[in-house]
Amino acid sequence: MIRKRANDRDFKSYERYKIGETWEDEQHMYWFECKADGPYLRVEIGGCVTHDKSRRIALNEMYDFGEYTYQCLKKYNGSVQMCSVGCIHKGMRYKIGDQWA
């Protein structure tokens, strides 16, 4: 699998990946994997990169950061986004719409 660097204007710089290899986009927000698809190769999104850029999480996986719970979600149109799905207040987790006193 050969992937052109997005910011390369001279079209001479490419990155090469083998089947099973992974990489992140240039903003370090998402990660991808090179996969075999019969006789062809394809790029599949693996998931999101955490806000502090310390680790990768898979699609649908959740993690806590600060006072919020986030989930890496694939939207109906195929786009992927890190979404806030809850809050943490005094050590307790709450889903969107929950209330506390």
The 3-class secondary structure across the chain, one letter per residue, is CEEECCCCCCCCCEEECCCCCEEECCCCCEEEEEEEECCEEEEEEEEEECCCCCCEEECCCEEEECCEEEEEEECCCCCEEEEEEEEEECCEEEECCCCCC
Question: How confident is the model over 44-57, as pLDDT tens digits?
Answer: 999 999 999 999 99
- Domains in the chain: how many in total? 1
Q: Which residues pair with 37 in a beta bridge?
A: 40
**Domain enclosing residue 90, as ranges:** 2-95
Does the residue 36 lie in any domain?
A: yes
Does the residue 33 lie in any domain?
A: yes
- Please compute the mean of the pLDDT values over residues 59-70 and round it to a whole number: 96
Does the residue 90 lie in any domain?
A: yes
Does the residue 101 lie in any domain?
A: no
Mean pLDDT of the chain: 88
Does the residue 100 lie in any domain?
A: no
pTM (whole model) above 0.95: no
Does the residue 53 lie in any domain?
A: yes
